Chains A and B, each alone.
Chain A
Amino acid sequence: EADIYQTPRYLVIGTGKKITLECSQTMGHDKMYWYQQDPGMELHLIHYSYGVNSTEKGDLSSESTVSRIRTEHFPLTLESARPSHTSQYLCASSDDRAYGEKLFFGSGTQLSVL
């Protein structure tokens, strides 16, 4: 079944650790996105990609980095996690329609940095 998957679902780590949040989609979408969402708040775009080898920074400044080596895979990496990185991270892909594209979201990764 075509879908978008994020792992891990929950992650608790100590300050200074390097982490990678995984995101994969099986829908063949070219466009992929990472959003950061604090509890009860709006989503903020932190990274996006138009396709393989394309990565762009979003509207919210983030110390994370992303890569897009394969169409289906869009991992997000934090080299040195800090408590300020505690948040929910949502990955999404789009069906790239010419008008009003629909976003498909993963279940999210809830990150807690102690």
Chain B
Amino acid sequence: AQTVTQSQPEMSVQEAETVTLSCTYDTSESDYYLFWYKQPPSRQMILVIRQEAYKQQNATENRFSVNFQKAAKSFSLKISDSQLGDAAMYFCAYRSGNTDKLIFGTGTRLQVFP
């Protein structure tokens, strides 16, 4: 069975600095997708970034980028120029190419200090 592990329950960063959130996963499949979702306090969860496993190029979305290491089964999220609005729970998620079900990690709570 596939699993997603986020080993950092909490992280903190100063405004304008860079922070990296870790995620590892376990799978025997070759066709899958990886996601980072952001859940702000009392607000809707939203997709931050996604990566197709068959793509070697790391996905980027403005200040958000990933470091996808397929062989190591690692999928970290880098947030550059951190802003106060980045404070949230961040969930790493995995989806097999054969199913519609997302498997979520336990989340990392990110605090951003002025």
Task: Give the residues in chain B near A102, CB-CB below 8 Å.
Answer: 47, 50
Tell which of A39-47, A63-71, A73-81 binds the partner.
A39-47
Please judge, given known A-B contacts A48-B100, A99-B52, A103-B102, whether A42 and B91 are in contact too, CB under 8 Å.
yes
In the assembled complex, which residues on chain A have CB atoms less than 8 Å from the CB atom of B46? Answer: 105
Q: How far apart are B78's CB and chain A's nearest CB, in angstroms?
A: 19
A40 touches B109 (CB 8 A): yes
In the complex the two chains form, is B106's CB within 8 Å of A41's CB?
yes
Contact assessment for A99 and B91 in the assembled complex, using a CB-CB cutoff below 8 Å: no
Cβ-defined partner of B107 (8 Å) among A41, A48, A50: A41
A45 vs B106: C-alpha distance in the bound complex, in angstroms?
14
Tell me if B's interface is mostly helix, strand, loop or mixed: strand
Write the B1-25 contact mask toward A (1 if CB under 8 angstroms, else 0): 0001000010000000000000000
Chain B residues within 8 Å of A4, by CB: 44
Binding site for B on A (CB under 8 A): 4, 31, 40-45, 48, 50, 58-59, 90, 92, 94, 99-103, 105-108
* Separation of A105 and B52 alpha carbons in the complex (Å): 21
In the bound complex, residues from chain A placing their C-beta under 8 Å from that of B106 are: 40-42
Residues of B within 8 A of A99 (CB): 33, 52
With A99-B52, A102-B47, A107-B43 already in contact, the answer to whether A59 and B101 are too (CB < 8 A) is yes
Contact of B44 among A44, A50, A106 (CB under 8 A): A106
Question: B84-105, CB under 8 A of A: which get 1 and which 0?
Answer: 0000010100010000111011
As a 0/1 sequence over residues 35 to 52 of chain B, the CB contacts with chain A under 8 angstroms (1 = contact) are 101000011111100111
Once bound together, how far apart are the Cα atoms of A106 and B44, in whole Å? 6
Residues in A whose Cβ lies below 8 Å from that of B107: 40-42
Given contacts A43-B104, A100-B50, A103-B102, whether A90 and B91 have CB atoms under 8 Å apart is no
> Which A residues are CB-close (under 8 A) to B33?
99-100
- Are B44's CB and A107's CB within 8 A? yes
> In the bound complex, what is the Cα–Cα distance between A86 and B15 (angstroms)?
36
A58 to chain B, nearest CB (A): 7
Report which of B89, B100, B105 forms a contact with A31, defined as CB distance below 8 A. Answer: B100
- Closest residue of chain A to B101, judged by CB? A45
